[in-house]
Amino acid sequence: MSEVVELVVRSEEEAAQYFEQALAGVFDNRSVLIKFDGWPKLDIDIEGERYHSSLPTGVLKALIDYQAGINRAYASIAYGKTAKSMTEEDRKEIELVFDVKEGSTDTETELWGALNSLGARAIERMTGKQLVTTILGAAFLASFTYASVHWMDTQAAIQADASKQQMVTQILHQNEHLAQLQVDMGKAAMSLVKGAYDANKITYGDVELSKPQIEAINQRGRETTAVSRIDGPYEIVQLKRFEDKWRVVLYSERTGQIQTDLFRGQNASKCIEEISLAFAKHQPVELLVLGRYKAGAIQSANILGSTQSGLLEPEVAVAGDSDDEESAD
């Protein structure tokens, strides 16, 4: 029986080194246990008249959304299921505690405890390479707040280290479990900025938003929606089946990562076969996609068909999201 390799991660730099080693095949066919020590963590600081030793309801919602994203990722990675499958013990193990410093709205939480629990679960389901890229990927997405904030509005002129941008792209290409985590972290970031809409400054992890940037992001939510076709070649990041549709996470250099819906109807089966085959073979597929934009950013998108199968003729009206999702991976 092969020996379990133990990796102790104390910093972002160490995590990046192990991630690159995993991509290079160092941990192939080996059992790996990751232990985080002092990294990562999330720090939130809000400055403004309303933000002295208090957390408004809108900001609390952001923290709840953040925890929900961690729960969903844990359930997907540990069990291959939704968050409903988690036990009470699971929830206690990964519950985050946000410490608020006296006299301010400076809030901090340690993420490494939840990630250690996740790594211990994942060792039963994954190869060494899969585990390292997945657990470290989750750590990066949960702490690289640039990726979450930039998702909200490209016009806010938010800057980021180029290496971090490249790391996020690599993570999303490597693991379909983390696509939803990235979406959930983005939603939590949006809840934070909406909840602290009148703040003078928000420091969210490695991102600092000024008052004009906060106002620009909130203004986007009040602008009208425009639609545009964004047909082209897409990589399939994640594929899930619902009662009346498929949820497909796509990636292209033109759009970045986007979440789309493909509704059941005439020709839909042919199109989903193409998408499933492309997903299995890690190949791009030519899709016909309709995007809905606000302030130049994609809010939602539907797959209308494919170049090969043509346009679909939906037979089912658009419905709300279902909680009873099934993964097709």
With pLDDT > 70 as the criterion, what percentage of the chain qualifies? Answer: 82
30 touches 178 (CB < 8 A): no
Predicted confidence at residue 161, as pLDDT, reads 59
The average confidence (pLDDT) of the chain is 83
How remote is the C-alpha of 171 from its chain's centroid? 10
CA dihedral sign, ordered 213, 215, 217, 223: negative
Alpha-carbon distance 209 to 272, whole Å? 41
- Alpha-helix runs per DSSP H in the chain: 12-23, 57-79, 88-93, 112-122, 128-143, 145-152, 162-174, 177-195, 211-220, 268-281
Domains of the chain with bracketed CATH: 5-220 (no CATH), 226-327 (2.40.50)
pLDDT in tens, 197-256: 999 999 888 788 899 988 888 876 566 677 888 999 999 999 998 888 899 999 988 888
Distance CA 246, CA 273 (A): 12
Residue 280 has pLDDT above 70, yes or no: yes
Residue 3: per-residue pLDDT: 82
Residue with tokens 């819906």: 261
Amino acid at 245: K
State both tokens at 267.
């020709």
| Predicted local confidence at residue 228, as pLDDT | 85
Report pLDDT digits (tens) over 112-131.
999 999 999 988 888 899 99
CB-based contact 95:67 (threshold 8 Å): yes
Report the C-alpha gap between 131 and 118 in whole angstroms: 10
Q: How far apart are CA 154 and CA 40, in angstroms?
A: 26
Name the region of 74 (left: φ>0; alpha: ψ -120 to 50; beta: rest). alpha
Residue ranges of the alpha helices (H) in 55-161? Answer: 57-79, 88-93, 112-122, 128-143, 145-152
CA 219 vs CA 63, 146, 224, 317: distances in Å = 22, 20, 11, 30
Return d(Cα 141, Cα 128) in angstroms, integer. Answer: 20
Q: How many residues does the chain have?
A: 329
Q: Which of 45-54, 260-269, 306-315 has the lowest mean pLDDT?
A: 306-315
pLDDT(154) > 90: no
The helix/strand/coil state of 25 is: coil
- Name residue, tokens 């193409």: 274
Tokens linked to 201: 């400054």
Cα–Cα distance measured from residue 298 to residue 302, given in angstroms and rounded to the nearest whole number: 11
pLDDT at position 317 over 80: no
Q: In one letter, which amino acid is 303?
A: I
Q: What sign results for the dihedral spanned by CA atoms 141, 143, 145, 146?
A: negative
Please tell me the predicted confidence (pLDDT) of residue 320: 43
pLDDT digits (tens, 9 = 90+) for 170-197: 787 766 668 778 878 888 888 899 999 9
Q: Quote the CA–CA distance of 327 and 320 in Å, as a whole number.
A: 18
